[in-house]
Amino acid sequence: MSLSRRGFLAWMGAAGITALGSQAGATPRHFKGYPQSLCVLHDITLCIGCRSCETGCNKVNELPPPAVPFSDLSVLDKKRRTTAKTYTVVNKYLDSGQEKKPIFFKTQCNHCLEPACASACFVRAFTKTKEGSVTYDASVCVGCRYCMIACPFEIPTYEYDEPLTPRIMKCTFCHPRVTKGLLPGCVEACPTEALSFGKREDMLKLARERINKYPGRYVDHIYGEHEMGGTNWLYLSGVPFRNLGMREDLGTTPAPELTSGALATVPMVAALWPVLLTGIYALSKRKEKLLSGDKQNALAQALAEANAKSQAALTAAMEKAKREKEEAVQKAVKTALEQSAKKTQEQ
């Protein structure tokens, strides 16, 4: 079936309008979290840098014993990050005042409401559970490490020294414990209750109450309330968060929304490209045909002209021959007549 030019353009127009329409209607809706999902509020002003949380996490998750014991606080002098053997680390920051009071804070997976790792994983190895924890399923993980690229907080780690069974390692929010009503290992271990645990709505309320009650003590911002669309781990601090190395430039767009636009064009391309390419093919074929048609016409014309020319030449030649023949005949007759006349004269 051949597609007429008009038909082709009509299809393109319709497709274009549909595409535009779908774009305008697609307002991104942000996931506000499962109701009653659990959350931790980390009050950085209460942290004393004792590393009990690291000890608790290590014990509860049966992680390998650390190279340097948890009681050694000199490790805090260097900036640390999570590793394949530590789900959480405590870091130290020296306040820029005259007293140089040290500030301690804990870093671990923030269990985002719309996790970048879950969005990025092409085998859905991450799940945002209704308890709020983002859990990892090592039984399907291929080890592509795209989740590590995606996480804006640079949390997931990888067992690079495992040749055949490497896993992504990150805080699990003690999901098995939490579903049983127990506290996460770090929360239970913290002596000063710098980690408060409860429903996310309650932790937000608690954070706001603390800021209201002691305005001089806190920066008026709950980190994690909106960052990257919101997280299930909230932070309160007495100094600007960026001083602690917590990025304040991440924005409030949840990570999945960053790629959903690009992914949305896939069905568009799949639907439109066949039509577009077939159309171009049809156009190019038509051009070819026209070109070859033109060629044939030109050929035929040339042939006809040549024919006509040769015909004319033939006719002319024949005429000439005829004339010459007649002339020759006449000449011969004349000669004959002259000869006979001469002969008669002689007799």
Partner 1 sequence: MEEVKSTLRWTAMLCTAVGLVIFALSAEGYKAPEQKAEKDRADIILIDTSPVFGRGDKPPVAFPHDRHTEIMAEQKKDCFLCHLKESKPQAVSAGPAPQPESTERMSLKFKRLKDTNLKEVRKIYHDNCIGCHMSMAEKGQEFGPIICGECHKEGAEYRSARKPSGMDNSLHFRHTKAAQNKCETCHHAYDDKAKKLFYAKGQEGTCRYCHQMKTEENRISMPLASHMSCVECHRLGKEKKLEAGPVTCSGCHDSKEQMKIKKIEPLPRMERQQPDTVFVKTLGKDEKAETPRMNPVPFDHKSHEGYNDTCRVCHHASLSACNSCHALGKPLKDGNFVKLDRAMHQAGSQTSCIGCHQLKQQAKECAGCHVFMPKGLMEQSDSCLKCHMKPLPDSAAFPKTAEGEKELAKKLLQSRQPVKGTYPQGDIPENVIMKDYADQYEPAEFPHRKVVSSLVEKMNGAKKTSQLAAYFHNDLGTVCQGCHHYSPESQKPPKCANCHGRPFDEGNLMKPGIIGAYHQQCMGCHAAMEIKKPKECVECHKEKKK
Partner 2 sequence: MFKLSDVLNRSLLTPFNIIAGIILFIGLIITALRFTGGLAAVTNLSDYNPWGLWIGFDLLCGVALAAGGYVTSAAVYIFGMKKYHSAVRPAILTGFLGYALVVLALNYDVGRPWRLPYPFVVQAGTTSVLFEVGACVLLYLVVLFIEFTPAASEWLGLKRARNLVVRLTMLLTILGVILSTLHQSSLGALFLIAPSKLHPLWYSQYIPVFFFISSIIAGLSMVIFEGSLTHRYFAAKMDETHLREKEDVVFGFGKAASFVLAAYFAVKVFGIAMDDNWRYLSTSYGAWFLVELIGFVALPCLLYAAGVREKNIRLIKWTAAWAVLGIVVNRFNVCLVAFNWHLPSSERYFPSWMEIGLSVFIVTVGVVAFKFIVTYMPILYEHPGYKTPHP
Which chain residues interact with partner 2 by CB under 8 A? Answer: 81-84, 116, 118-125, 140-146, 148-150, 152, 154, 156-166, 247, 249-251, 255-256, 258-263, 265-266, 269-270, 273-274, 277-278, 280-281, 284-285, 287-288
- Least distance CB 6 / partner 2 (angstroms): 21
What distance in Å separates the CA atoms of residue 68 and residue 25, rounded to the nearest whole number? 56
State which residue, 81 or 331, has the beta carbon closest to partner 2.
Answer: 81
Site of interaction with partner 1 (CB under 8 A): 46, 48, 50, 183, 190-193, 196-199, 202, 205-206, 209-210, 213-216
DSSP 290-329: HHHHHHHHHHHHHHHHHHHHHHHHHHHHHHHHHHHHHHHH
Compute the C-alpha angle 144/118/128, nearest 5°. Answer: 140
State which residue, 97 or 163, has the beta carbon closest to partner 2.
Answer: 163
Decide which of partner 2, partner 1, none touches 166; Cβ closer than 5 to 8 Å per partner kind.
Answer: partner 2
State which residue, 166 or 198, has the beta carbon closest to partner 1.
Answer: 198
Decide which of partner 1, partner 2, none touches 165; Cβ closer than 5 to 8 Å per partner kind.
Answer: partner 2
- Least distance CB 180 / partner 1 (angstroms): 15
What distance in Å separates the CA atoms of residue 187 and residue 197, rounded to the nearest whole number? 7
State which residue, 71 or 347, has the beta carbon closest to partner 1.
Answer: 71
State which residue, 2 or 165, has the beta carbon closest to partner 2.
Answer: 165
Decide which of partner 1, partner 2, none touches 318; Cβ closer than 5 to 8 Å per partner kind.
Answer: none
- Least distance CB 135 / partner 1 (angstroms): 22
State which residue, 191 or 245, has the beta carbon closest to partner 1.
Answer: 191
Give the torsion sign (CA, 319, 322, 328, 329): negative
- Least distance CB 206 / partner 1 (angstroms): 4
What distance in Å separates the CA atoms of residue 304 and residue 42, rounded to the nearest whole number? 95
What distance in Å separates the CA atoms of residue 241 and residue 237, rounded to the nearest whole number? 7
DSSP 188-204: HH-TT--EEEEEHHHHH
Decide which of partner 1, partner 2, none touches 1; Cβ closer than 5 to 8 Å per partner kind.
Answer: none
Which candidate, 1, 9, 13, places its Cα nearest to that of 279? 9
- Least distance CB 331 / partner 2 (angstroms): 57
Which candidate, 105, 149, 53, 90, places its Cα nearest to that of 158? 149
Q: How many CA atoms lie within 13 A of 278 on its CB side?
A: 16
- Least distance CB 216 / partner 1 (angstroms): 8
- Spatial neighbors of 181 by CB under 8 A, at least 6 apart, are none
Beta-bridge partner residues of 90: 106
